[in-house]
Amino acid sequence: MKTLLLTWWTWYIGSHNAVLLLEQWYNIIIFDNLSNSSRYILKSIQQIVTASSLNQVGIEVGELKFYKWDLRNKNDLNIVFSENTIDTVIHFAGLKAVWESCEKPQEYYENNVVGSMNLFSMMEQYNCKNIIFSSSATVYEPTQTPPFSENTLTGNTTNPYGTSKFIIENILRDLAHHKDFKVINLRYFNPIGAHSSWLIGEDPSDIPNNLLPYIMKVATGELQSLWVYGNDYDTIDWTGIRDYIHVVDLAAWHLSALNFLSQQQDSIFETFNLWTWTGTSVMEMIQYTQDIIWEDLSYNIISRRDGDIASAYCSPQKAQNILWWKAKKTVQDAITDSWNFIKNKKY
Interface with ligand UD1, residue 187, by CB under 6 A = no
- Of 210 and 320, which CB lies nearer to ligand UD1 in the complex structure? 210
Residue type, position 278, single letter: T
Smallest gap, in angstroms, from Cβ of residue 197 to ligand UD1? 22
Smallest gap, in angstroms, from Cβ of residue 327 to ligand UD1? 15
**Which of 229, 235, 278, 292 forms a contact with ligand UD1 (CB under 6 A)?**
229
The answer to whether 102 and 160 are in contact (CB under 8 A) is yes
* Catalytic machinery residues: 161
* Residue list 84-143, contact with ligand UD1 (CB under 6 A): 96, 98, 136, 138
Which span sits near ligand UD1 by CB under 6 A: 2-10, 51-59, 75-83, 221-229?
221-229
Interface with ligand UD1, residue 219, by CB under 6 A = no
Interface with ligand UD1, residue 190, by CB under 6 A = yes
Smallest gap, in angstroms, from Cβ of residue 151 to ligand UD1? 20
Beta bridge partners of 159: none
Interface with ligand UD1, residue 210, by CB under 6 A = yes
Contact flags string 298-327 toward ligand UD1, x per CB under 6 A: -------x-xx---x---------------
Distance of CA 23 to the CA centre of its chain: 19
| CA atoms of 264 and 131, how far apart (whole Å) | 12
Residue type, position 98, single letter: V
> Which residues, other chains included, contact 291 with Cβ-Cβ below 8 Å and sequence gap of 6+?
332
Torsion 17-23-25-31 (CA) sign:
positive
Smallest gap, in angstroms, from Cβ of residue 32 to ligand UD1? 18
Beta bridge partners of 184: 132, 270
Query: Which of 59, 37, 38 minimizes the C-alpha distance to 48?
Result: 59
Torsion 286-287-292-293 (CA) sign:
positive
Torsion 328-16-10-218 (CA) sign:
positive
| CA atoms of 103 and 288, how far apart (whole Å) | 34
- Of 175 and 247, which CB lies nearer to ligand UD1 in the complex structure? 247
Return residues touching ligand UD1 (CB under 6 A). Answer: 96, 98, 136, 138, 189-191, 209-211, 214, 226-229, 240, 242, 282, 305, 307-308, 312
